[in-house]
Structure 1
Amino acid sequence: MHIQSLFPFYLLVALPHVLGQDNRNPVLNDKTDAFINQVLADWRSPGGVAVAVVRRDGLGAWNIETRGYGKATINGTKVTEKTLFGIGSNSKLFNVLATGLLINNETLSPRLSWTTKIASVVPIWGLADSTASKEATILDVMSHRTGLPRHDYSYKWSDDVPTVIKKLKFQRPSAEFRDVFQYNNNMYTLLSYLPTVLLPSKVPLARYVKQHIFDPLAMTSTTYSFEVANSGGQLADGMVRQVTNVSDPFGGIPRAMPYWSVTGGEDGNVLSGAAGVISNAAIWLQTLLLDGTKPGTNQSVIPAAALQRVSAGITVEVAAARFPELSPVVYGGGQARSTYRGHEIIKHDGAVPGFHTQITRLPFDDLGVAVLTNDNDYGNLIMEVIKGNLLDEALGLEKIDWNSRYQALVSTPLVPATPRPPNSPLPSVNFTSLAGTYNSGGYGKFELCLVKPHAPSASSSCMALAANISSILPGAINTNIPTFIGTWDSPWLSHVRLTHFSGNLFNVSALTSLPTGNASAPYWAYGDSVTDFGAYAEFVVSSRRHIGLGFTGIWGAESSLKGGPARERAEVWFDKA
């Protein structure tokens, strides 16, 4: 994970004679302040936002503006330019540029290149598709064209990087190799392994990036370590709405989310390559606009060729623009390239529980904008609204009402969940027979516990879960419907719920037990919804009473497998132990 103190720019202030000063009118002016505060009010955000705008004039002088708005913590602490946010997938650029540094390392033997095949450097690598397994290169994995969909529920906090890589060969592809763009965090976990597997020191990615990028750029508040970020008292809370009225999309009780990734320290953890940083956005934006050169110096920290390679399009991420002022999007490595109102932009979004970020640069306009927010629910849209307004202001364009456009998207009614049919047929075996431990080569093990109706012969761990379920996941169990709960050691959920629908079919929900801060009702269930997300599970009982479990709607691809037996059409298959 990568944590960035969003904008401690005292280092830049300390070097005015080196960096110069661009005297153009500020972008973060009274009008901008009023606009951003109004956006937070319109979305009824429980959190806030930090922004940075960097501009360079024709003489090389920089104007650097940073400001915070709204709430950083549940206690009402305000966001400032020093507030730290997790930047999620904006960490991928640090990861792939570390690969670029390895490619530039002349001491490696054999030398690494962008077209190096993964199988030649990572012995534990493999995919279910034999062609992809043999032929996939660094370019393929960084541009998300291996054929694998997201499979985000496959990795666990208890996994290490080699374990995640070894699981890949058991995960089903949803497309042909090099056919389409399919975002996959696991491929960046794979890339994060390269410093460890190639260098004699076996250094983890987090240490390598600190030594070769953070420290040379004096990005002192950028870290992979929760402990380091939290020690200064500047780390924001991820803020979430506990929805109490589904007809009011912006309402709910404000809650603080525990920081999503607290393990690993400065060595990082299993998700460091995909989503691990907390960071100095203004310094980073300047470095990107300078093609990898440290601001205020002629020191090349990142090879320009590496930055240009990862910023150039390889795959088509978005084939058709959502709005007429935008364009299709191509993806390189940790960077997406498109246009905004005729101006070329290079950007990436980041999202982890509690945080959304977007870091954007306009290379032909010498302009960079970073927007970071701790609004878990709508931060992805809030940052688009604010980014658009800041670009319009900086470029001197007539303002587009992005706020109304994106709020209209949220106002679309949600699809209600299909109710369980009356007199629904029972499974082919009794419910208690379906409980137990299930294993998948690509996803690992989990125990599925029958919590309704009561299972007197359940394991001790299931008995404990059932006894505490009303406290851990209050309101998440309909006592009129047979329900299974499984504990899931994931960054994205704490429990999976299977509620009986018909026969061997069960609806699937991903739930997270979050603290309330209230001793009398210590937890609430995030993700419990009356909407239909299309995920379901199907049990299969063989003639020899072997039980299997197939999941559909969870692998993160646009389409699911069709036809054939349940095992063949399942996206993920588990066998009961």
Structure 2
Amino acid sequence: MRISAMWLVCTSVSLCAHLSSTLSAKLYHSISQTHFGISENALISSETRSYAESLLKRRDSPGLSLAAVRRDSSEPSGWRHEFASFGIAKAGGSPVTPDSVFAIASNSKLFLAVSNGLLIHNNSLSDLQGRRLNWQTKMKDLIPGWSLMDKDAEVGSTIQDLLSHRTGMPKHEFSYKLKDGLLDNMISTFRYLRPSAEFRETFQYNNMMYSVLSYLPHILLNQSYSSYVSEHIFGPLNMAASTFSIAQAERSGCFVDGFQYDLVDTSNGKRGIKKPTLPFFMRPGDEEIMDGPGGVLTSARDLVMWASMLLNEGKHPYTNASIVPNKVIEHLAHGRSVSDGGKPGFPELGPKVYGAGQFRFSYRGREIVEHGGSVPGYKTKIARLPNDNLAIISMSNDENGYYLAESIKWRVIDDVLGLEKIDWSRRYEKVWNNTLEKAQKHTPRPKHPNVPKASLVSLANHSFGHPTYGNLKPCFVPGSALPLLEDSLSLPERSHCANFLALPPTQRLLAETDLTSPTFLIPHEVGFATHLLLRHFNGNVFNLTVVWTNWAVREQHRFKHELPGLYSSQDQSFEGDQGDLITRWPETFEVEWVDNSEGEYGLAFRGGFWGKEGPDSSSPGGTGRDGAEVWFGKVKKE
């Protein structure tokens, strides 16, 4: 289903328009607006809008919210704010508007960094604490229970190190237990997470460190991070739609549905069926751990105020009241870590450096400060060109919408600055196709694989644990092939496995899985996963696929079947599908089942499972526990 693109600058036929308060309407009436056409010097030109429409159609993408900001002395307010909205916000067909609320994901990191800057420059807080907080304040002096496996990083890590992703810690993103809810619980287990680089050796993106920094308002002021940002940023900028509360966003009626691709399998070239992620992938009460790294829910209308403040040296764009000290804005944009190995991806781009919640680089001689955002079903980009007084906000509700949002961002920049236009979409299509081709080039399983050194009965009869990641209880999948020397009748029936394997999403997943090798399925409910699928490869090595489904939460909240009439013409329903989603992580990892004479017994996860990056990071190498990125040892008592 496709709703034609609309140019929406002020009014909206939807409920969402009411989020623009009466105060906002009275105080900011001088915003540049166009009701009946597109002016010749528009920031979002007719050509750009046509380009965006064509990309959404070509990619069969659900929706996009676009906004552009520029300081303009010819305007009574001194600013131009323009919006363009495309496609659908919800599965039922309601259109995207400037008031549609998106999960901006990692674009939330700059809100966290700014909040840290406000705390640092709070003189009253310094007087109260009896000490001066600064960017170099060490975490060991701030965070109760702060402990890392690398003692140099534990002792030396500062606020700035965490903001700039240089602690040596990889992502470890399959360890986030959102439902545990308490940051101090998560922080207390950091010492069990293996680093992949020396302290301050390289840039390694890590969401958990932004979660840690969101704990500072609680420690210093006994105030939650979300309320601190609401008080000091959302409120002063009149960002009325902005919140960290999933319940509040859902009640507003403006929260867009993020679309993902059911049963996608990049390793086999299967795109999957486009479906809305209903409900949102996190639920009310799960927000605390993700608030700092990716919890802001907001609209294009609110974000133009945020972007204008950043361009205006920390001052409110209309009143010039100070919101954030300019020294904080400048400090956060100053590059301290080199990302992407210092190698630009295209000739027009300069090397990227990372400050705090922002990348900084050049584009065709123009300086850009920006960040992207990605959570299931949402892809966002917020960029500003400080020397050109220009900012762009591009938000997609498509899991595959990253390159779409990027391409349209570049088109606005080229158009406004009068640069020769580059068809970034075609470039990104080549990148995407190369990625898909690479994903399908995997080493085939040997025709005559070696059997594991120990019986699979043993693997199916034990549990394995990690202090941070939790416990794993493998369930053997009946019907998957066993070595000739084993009999499925000898495999134990674990108390939880029969029910787990009989669940509808499990049956749907296994129906799409090659079961010609011994296969195990493991429940593992964390932020970005619900299942781990192990398929025997050779010897004691298994291939690992990380799986996520929203079936359980849909059952809990009684969501109904939404398939009929909501998807594109090539999509089709199939037996057993009740509107739930099953997605696979695009990368395949490796698990070694270790059972040796030296007393080691467990599962060694490797092959990138921990999420390391950068040319100066390194994998443990070798086999067994020493070669594990993450080690799950045998649990002695269950």
Q: In 1, are the aligned partners of 2:549 and 2:583 still within 8 Å (CA)? A: no
Quick one: structure 1 residues 434 and 343, their matched pair in 2 at CA, closer, same or farther if it must change by over 3 Å?
A: same
- Distance apart, 1:58 and its partner CA: 4.0
Q: Does 1:561 align with 2:616?
A: no
After superposition, where does 1:530-549 map in structure 2 within 5 Å? 533-543=587-597, 547-549=601-603
* 1:118 to partner: Cα distance: 0.6
Structure 1 counterpart SS, 2:372: strand
Describe how 1:315-394 pairs up with structure 2 within 5 A: 315-318=337-340, 319-377=342-400, 379-394=401-416
The CA distance in 1 between the partners of 2:274 and 2:33, in whole Å, is 41
- Deviation track 1:23-78 (CA, whole Å, cap 9, x = no partner) reads 87112232122110101122222x21100101112466111101210121222222
Question: Matched residue of 2:109: which SS?
Answer: helix
Quick check: 1:442 aligned with 2:468? yes
CA distance in 1, matches of 2:26, 2:421: 35
* Pairing partner for 1:52 from 67, 70, 74: 67
CA distance in 2, matches of 1:190, 1:244: 33
State the secondary structure of the residue aligned to 2:313.
coil
Matched residues in 1 for 2:264 and 2:595: separation?
A: 39
Is 1:188 the counterpart of 2:246? The answer is no
Pairing 1:287-306 to 2, within 5 Å after superposition: 287-306=309-328
**1:15 aligns with one of 20, 27, 39:** 27
Q: Closer, same or farther in 2 for the Cα pair 1:205/1:431, shift >3 Å?
A: same
Q: Please name the residue that 1:93 is paired with.
A: 110
Q: Which whole-Å CA distance do the structure 2 matches of 1:406 and 1:383 have between them? A: 11
Q: Report if the CA contact (8 A) 1:19-1:295 is conserved.
A: no
- Residue 278 of structure 1 corresponds to 297
Q: Kindly provide the CA deviation profile for residues 142-192 of structure 1, in whole angstroms up to 9, marking residues without a partner as x.
A: 000001111111111223211221222111111111111000001001101
* Alignment of 1:574 onto 2:632: yes
8 Å CA contact 2:263, 2:509 repeated in 1:
no
CA contact (8 A) 1:336 1:348 kept: yes
For the pair 1:141 / 2:162, whether they are aligned, the reply is yes
Amino acid at match of 2:448: N
1:288-343 Cα deviation digits (max 9, x unpaired): 11122122112111122112111111111131111111111110110111112111
- Residue 497 of structure 1: CA displacement? 0.7
Alpha-carbon distance in structure 2 between the residues aligned to 1:539 and 1:576:
11
The alignment-based identity, stated in percent, is: 36
Q: 1:132 Cα shift?
A: 0.8
| Alignment match, 1:74 | 91
Deviations 1:354-409 (A, max 9, x none): 001111111111111000001102x1111110000011111121211111111111
Relative to structure 1, the CA distance from residue 211 to residue 555 in structure 2 (aligned partners, 3 Å threshold; closer, same or farther) is: same
Q: Secondary structure of 2:529's match?
A: coil
SS of residue paired to 1:64:
strand
CA contact under 8 A between 1:44 and 1:251: conserved in structure 2? no
Contact 1:513 1:523 in 2 (8 A): no
State the shift of 1:13 in Å.
5.0
Question: Deviation digits for residues 110-131 of structure 1, max 9, x if unmatched?
Answer: 2210010110111211111111
Partner of 2:4: none
SS of equivalent to 2:387: coil
Secondary structure of the residue aligned to 2:175 is coil
* Mapped contact 1:6–1:50 kept (Cα < 8 A): no
Residue aligning to 1:238: 258
Structure 1 residues 6 and 269: CA distance shift in structure 2, 3 A = farther
Aligned to 2:195: 173
Aligned match for 1:33, one of 31, 43, 49: 49
Alpha-carbon contact 2:164-2:355 (below 8 Å) kept:
yes
What does residue 507 of structure 2 align with? 471
Amino acid at match of 1:233: G
Provide the C-alpha distance between the structure 2 equivalents of 1:83 and 1:568, rounded to a whole number of angstroms: 49
The answer as to 2:134 corresponding to 1:116 is: no
CA contact (8 A) 1:6 1:85 kept: no
Verify the 8 A CA contact 1:434 1:547 in the aligned structure 2.
Answer: no
Equivalent residue of 1:158, what SS? helix
Q: Which moved more, 1:128-137 or 1:235-244?
A: 235-244
* Whole-angstrom CA distance in 1 between matches of 2:371 and 2:17: 16
Structure 1 residues 224 and 464: alpha-carbon distance in aligned structure 2, compared to 1, 3 A threshold:
same
Task: Report the residue type matching 1:15 in the other structure.
Answer: L
Runs of 5+ in structure 1 lacking a partner?
A: none
C-alpha distance in 1 between matches for 2:268 and 2:509: 22
Q: Does 1:508 align with 2:544?
A: yes
Select which of 553, 578, 591 maps to 1:522.
Answer: 578
Q: How far does residue 98 in structure 1 lie from its aligned partner after superposition?
A: 1.0
Which protein has the bigger helix share?
Answer: 2
**Partners of 2:17 and 2:262 in 1: how far apart?**
26
CA-CA distance at 1:543 after TM superposition: 3.1
Give me the whole-angstrom Cα distance separating, in 1, the residues matched to 2:468 and 2:627. 16
Q: Specify the alignment match of 1:494 in structure 2.
A: 530
CA offsets 1:424-482 (integer angstroms, 9 cap, x no match): 22222221211332211232223222223567633322221122264352524433221
Q: Which amino acid aligns with 1:522?
A: Q
Secondary structure in structure 1 of the residue aligned to 2:289 = coil
1:247/1:32 CA distance change after superposition, 3 Å: farther
Could you tell me how far apart the structure 2 residues matched to 1:13 and 1:129 are?
Answer: 53
Partners of 1:421 and 1:502 within 8 A in 2: yes
Q: Which amino acid aligns with 1:571?
A: E
Amino acid of the structure 2 residue aligned with 1:27:
L
Structure 2, unpaired ranges of 5+: 1-15, 481-487, 552-560, 564-574
Change (3 A) 1:95 1:76: same
